[in-house]
Amino acid sequence: MSSPGEFELIARLTAGLEARPDVALGAGDDAALLRLGSEWLLAATVDAQVEGIHFVRGVATPKDIGHKALAVNLSDLAAMGAEPLWALVSLLLPADVSAAYLERVYGGMRALARDYGVAIVGGNIAATSGPLTLDVTALGRVERGVAVTRAGGRVGDMLLAVGTLGAAASGLLALVGDSDPAKQAQLAPDMLDNVRTALVAPTPLVATGRALALTGGIGAMLDVSDGLAADLAHLCAASGTGAVLDVAHIPVARAAAAVARAYGRDPLALALYGGEDYALLCAVRPAGLAAALEAARAGGDEAQVIGELTAPAEGLRLRQPDGRLEPLEPRGWDHLRTLGC
Amino acid sequence: MSSPGEFELIARLTAGLEARPDVALGAGDDAALLRLGSEWLLAATVDAQVEGIHFVRGVATPKDIGHKALAVNLSDLAAMGAEPLWALVSLLLPADVSAAYLERVYGGMRALARDYGVAIVGGNIAATSGPLTLDVTALGRVERGVAVTRAGGRVGDMLLAVGTLGAAASGLLALVGDSDPAKQAQLAPDMLDNVRTALVAPTPLVATGRALALTGGIGAMLDVSDGLAADLAHLCAASGTGAVLDVAHIPVARAAAAVARAYGRDPLALALYGGEDYALLCAVRPAGLAAALEAARAGGDEAQVIGELTAPAEGLRLRQPDGRLEPLEPRGWDHLRTLGC
């Protein structure tokens, strides 16, 4: 079903999109047709970016908005060890968004798609009286023996964080929550740039997620979208384990530490409870740790052992630098509260 | 990325969903994992239903809303000749929609999914300051040699309409546009029921679409979601043809004719320019016509030859009962105008 002008607009937005040899039929028909070999699993995910909840026009450029709408989905595929192949883009369009603006949004999405070899093979545009929303479905493939879920962790697995934490929450704090120029002035410009990029245009760790899965030593994996504490709780709930995190080893992003100083916040809290970092959290078999570290570092990503999985009865705990164990509250990222909506 | 409470809500909404043996991993992880054989094409489509544009709470029950959100996507798969397999559901949720209401919405979707053997394998819920929106991605499969696009029509193909036309537009007129009790009183209750059902809970012609494709004689096919005239124009544009429609043969739904009488409207205009009927429009090779009619009727659906494809220079035309040819304007369904938004 279509709103008037949709066909022209889709034609305009999809002209010259990247093709792949396995796209038998892309945008422009009732459905896209895609070839898939028999030894593969199809990995499918959908995630929406809603103006005022997930992004704010003015803080995020149109290009950022498009980039992020696809990036968060590629991050989900990365966390399965999947190779991203195709995406479908569903747009909910308020009357005040111009076609030119939308083309810039698509530009950001298309640039990221090109970088990752993803073909945008279809979509939909519907009018809405509400906020601009991009709802992206991403499809990928992964060999049956390679796919990694969040449910395969075992007691004794090492917890590996790939990427750094807290930068996106710092960006939200410094650019949306409290954009006080006096506080911003305490930050080096590159630090502000870093947290801005982390917030509005995150990099999905696609190659690293796949390389990690291919080592065969990863028991469970997910992307840290809701915050380390909350996502660790998801992994433990699915795997039937508890966990201990070592405070001293949590990889707080340098820029997050800088923002925390300028704003008088606890950097560890930003790393533990801030979300949208799109780092990967893995439960690694001890025998597979060396290969996992090598896979992550070969991809240019920081990798750090931050704890281990424990018996479920022990729950989630934080190990302080002095060895003391404290309960870890599995709360996460609260868009609505953070943005004051 | 998730809003607070999403995990609990997803768990609640997806408890006991239908499974399929080819779902290796369904809802609850970062992505779903699905097996697909090598001889098949994956058919993928996405379509959103937005409150105030595509449905009105009060006219549509929550169950209807869920039913239709999936139905319109299954209809797209049907128009490819595909067998629907999996769906992903992305919800945009305003604060005033309760979990109980949403469970009824999902109930409608799940009932339809069960009827068609579709597994709902994932999804997302995001908060929105805008209207309730259901954005569904449907995935299906179709053999490479069986898939039917809108682009394969040839000059000389017969146009076959499967299903009837105008009922959904009549429902919109009688229930939303002008719900004058005096006019409604002129309608038999079953006629009002019929147009209401056509509008809020359409039946996707999945088995028939697939049976038609399997005959091998269908050159092009699409579902009539935007209106017969507009969708015929899409088929002709993609196939590089013109077309003639026979006014006398257009299958106006009986209930649409009744509404047209009560409201002083032209039933043919409702059938030609009203949308959302989810009938199938096929371009059939003349040698394949008997098999196509048989396939449609075996599925219990009305099937009617309504014209033929012509040379592109002849454009779109209507043949009046007296043989006179008139230009056919390819305008369609205008949600915004029709609902007065």
pLDDT, one tens digit per residue, over B47-68 is: 999 999 999 998 999 999 999 9
Helix (H, G, I), strand (E, B) or coil at B39: coil
Any chain A CB within 8 A of the CB of B82?
A: yes
Residue B135, Cα to own-chain centre: how many angstroms? 14
Residues of chain B with Cβ-Cβ distance to A147 below 8 Å are 24-25, 33
Please tell me the distance in Å from A42's CA to the nearest CA on chain B.
5
Q: Mutating which of B2, B68, B280 best tests the A interface, going by the most A Cβ atoms within 10 A?
A: B2
> Could you tell me the CA-to-CA distances from A3 to A12, A121, A150, B334 in Å, in that order?
15, 19, 39, 6
- C-alpha A32/C-alpha A107 separation (Å) is 21
- The average pLDDT across A167-173 equals 94
pLDDT higher than threshold 50 for residue A4:
no
Selecting from B48, B127, B333 the residue whose C-beta is nearest the C-beta of A50 gives B127
Selecting from A72, A149, A341 the residue whose C-beta is nearest the C-beta of B1 gives A72
Domains, chain A: 6-143 (3.30.1330.10), 158-339 (3.90.650.10)
Would you place residue A180 in the very low, low, confident or very high pLDDT band (cuts 50, 70, 90)? confident
CA neighbor of B245 nearest in space, from B285, B332, B305: B305
Residue of B nearest to A224 (CA): B1
The whole-number pLDDT of residue B38 equals 64
Query: How many Å from the N-terminal Cα to the C-terminal Cα in chain A?
Result: 31
Residue of B nearest to A280 (CA): B30
Q: Exposed, middle or buried, B198 (CB in 10 Å: 0-12/13-18/19+)?
A: buried
Residues of chain A with Cβ-Cβ distance to B121 below 8 Å are 44
CB A55 within 8 A of CB A65: yes
CB B45 within 8 A of CB B149: no
Could A86 and B31 be called an inter-chain contact, meaning their C-beta atoms sit closer than 8 Å? no
- C-alpha A117/C-alpha A86 separation (Å) is 9
> Could you tell me the CA-to-CA distances from B198 to A56, B66, B165, B169, B245 in Å, in that order?
39, 14, 10, 9, 23
The whole-number pLDDT of residue A287 equals 98
- C-alpha B53/C-alpha B131 separation (Å) is 9
Any chain A CB within 8 A of the CB of B1?
A: yes
- C-alpha A307/C-alpha A229 separation (Å) is 12
Could B332 and A37 be called an inter-chain contact, meaning their C-beta atoms sit closer than 8 Å? no
Selecting from B1, B32, B337 the residue whose C-beta is nearest the C-beta of A47 gives B1
Q: pLDDT tens digits for B72-102?
A: 999 999 999 999 988 888 999 999 998 889 8
Torsion sign, CA atoms B324, B326, B332, B338: negative
- C-alpha A276/C-alpha A35 separation (Å) is 32
- C-alpha B71/C-alpha B90 separation (Å) is 15
Residue of A nearest to B146 (CA): A33
pLDDT higher than threshold 50 for residue B29:
no
Could B137 and A137 be called an inter-chain contact, meaning their C-beta atoms sit closer than 8 Å? yes
Please tell me the distance in Å from A323's CA to the nearest CA on chain B.
32
The whole-number pLDDT of residue B165 equals 97
Could B44 and A127 be called an inter-chain contact, meaning their C-beta atoms sit closer than 8 Å? no
- How is residue B31 written in tokens? 């992505």
Any chain A CB within 8 A of the CB of B204?
A: no
* CB burial readout B76-88, b (16+ within 10 A) else e: bbbbbbbbbbbbb
Helical H runs in B138-227? 167-172, 181-185, 189-200, 206-214
CB A167 within 8 A of CB A187: no
Helices vs strands, H then E, count in chain B = 12, 13
Residues of chain A with Cβ-Cβ distance to B133 below 8 Å are 92, 126, 128, 130, 133
Could B43 and A33 be called an inter-chain contact, meaning their C-beta atoms sit closer than 8 Å? yes
CA neighbor of B209 nearest in space, from B199, B201, B220, B198: B220
Torsion sign, CA atoms B8, B14, B16, B20: negative
Beta bridge partners of B155: none
- C-alpha B116/C-alpha B99 separation (Å) is 25
Selecting from B37, B46, B128 the residue whose C-beta is nearest the C-beta of A137 gives B46
Q: pLDDT tens digits for A198-238?
A: 999 999 999 999 999 999 999 999 999 989 999 999 999 99
The whole-number pLDDT of residue B119 equals 84
Please tell me the distance in Å from B108's CA to the nearest CA on chain A.
19
What SS3 string covers B244-259?
A: EEEHHHCCECHHHHHH
CA neighbor of B49 nearest in space, from B173, B110, B132, B171: B132
Q: A103: part of which helix (H) or strand (E)?
A: helix A99-115
Q: Is A163 left (phi over 0), alpha (psi -120 to 50) or beta?
A: left
Please tell me the distance in Å from B183's CA to the nearest CA on chain A.
28
Q: Mutating which of B20, B25, B42 best tests the A interface, going by the most A Cβ atoms within 10 A?
A: B42
Q: Tell me whether strands A158-162 and A303-310 are parallel, antiparallel or unpaired.
A: antiparallel
What letter would DSSP give residue B265?
-
State the residue for tokens 């649409």: B256
> Could you tell me the CA-to-CA distances from A143 to A40, A120, B22, B33 in Å, in that order?
5, 22, 14, 10
The whole-number pLDDT of residue A321 equals 95
pLDDT higher than threshold 70 for residue B28:
no
Could B90 and A121 be called an inter-chain contact, meaning their C-beta atoms sit closer than 8 Å? no
Amino acid at position A249, single letter: H
Residue A333: CB atoms within 10 Å:
25
Could B133 and A92 be called an inter-chain contact, meaning their C-beta atoms sit closer than 8 Å? yes
CA neighbor of B338 nearest in space, from B269, B235, B255: B269
Residues of chain B with Cβ-Cβ distance to A35 below 8 Å are 41-42, 144
Residue of B nearest to A225 (CA): B1
Could A7 and B48 be called an inter-chain contact, meaning their C-beta atoms sit closer than 8 Å? no
The whole-number pLDDT of residue B185 equals 85
Q: How many CB pairs under 8 A join A and B?
A: 275
Q: pLDDT tens digits for B284-317?
A: 999 999 999 999 999 899 999 999 999 999 999 9
Helix (H, G, I), strand (E, B) or coil at B45: strand
Q: pLDDT tens digits for A279-312?
A: 999 999 999 999 999 999 998 999 999 999 999 9
Please tell me the distance in Å from B142's CA to the nearest CA on chain A.
8
Q: Tell me whether strands A158-162 and A280-284 are parallel, antiparallel or unpaired.
A: antiparallel
Residues of chain B with Cβ-Cβ distance to A72 below 8 Å are 1
- C-alpha A24/C-alpha B151 separation (Å) is 13
ipTM above threshold 0.90: no
Residues of chain A with Cβ-Cβ distance to B135 below 8 Å are 46, 48, 90, 92, 124, 135
C-alpha gyration radius of chain B: 20
The whole-model pTM stands at 0.89
State the residue for tokens 């796919």: A147
Could A31 and B79 be called an inter-chain contact, meaning their C-beta atoms sit closer than 8 Å? yes
Please tell me the distance in Å from B186's CA to the nearest CA on chain A.
30
Order of strands across the sheet that contains B83-93: A23-25, A32-35, B40-50, B133-143, B83-93, B119-127
Which B residues, 158 through 187, put their C-beta within 8 Å of a C-beta on chain A? none
- C-alpha A220/C-alpha B83 separation (Å) is 33
C-alpha gyration radius of chain A: 20
Residue of A nearest to B4 (CA): A334
pLDDT higher than threshold 80 for residue B341:
no
Selecting from A31, A131, A234 the residue whose C-beta is nearest the C-beta of B44 gives A31
CB B49 within 8 A of CB B57: no
Which B residues, 92 through 131, put their C-beta within 8 Å of a C-beta on chain A? 92, 94, 121-124, 126-131
CB B169 within 8 A of CB B279: no
Q: Exposed, middle or buried, A127 (CB in 10 Å: 0-12/13-18/19+)?
A: buried
Range of weakest confidence among B10-19, B160-169, B295-304: B10-19
Selecting from B29, B138, B149 the residue whose C-beta is nearest the C-beta of A29 gives B149
Helix (H, G, I), strand (E, B) or coil at B327: strand
Residues of chain A with Cβ-Cβ distance to B89 below 8 Å are 46
Long-range contacts from B7-13, C-beta under 8 angstroms, 24+ separation: B7/A234, B9/B99, B9/B102, B9/B125, B10/B123, B10/B125, B12/B99, B12/B103, B13/B102, B13/B103, B13/B106
Residue of B nearest to A43 (CA): B33
Amino acid at position A115, single letter: D
**How is A10-52 classified by DSSP, letter by letter?**
HHHHHTT----TTEEE-TTSSSEEEE--TTEEEEEEEEEEEBT
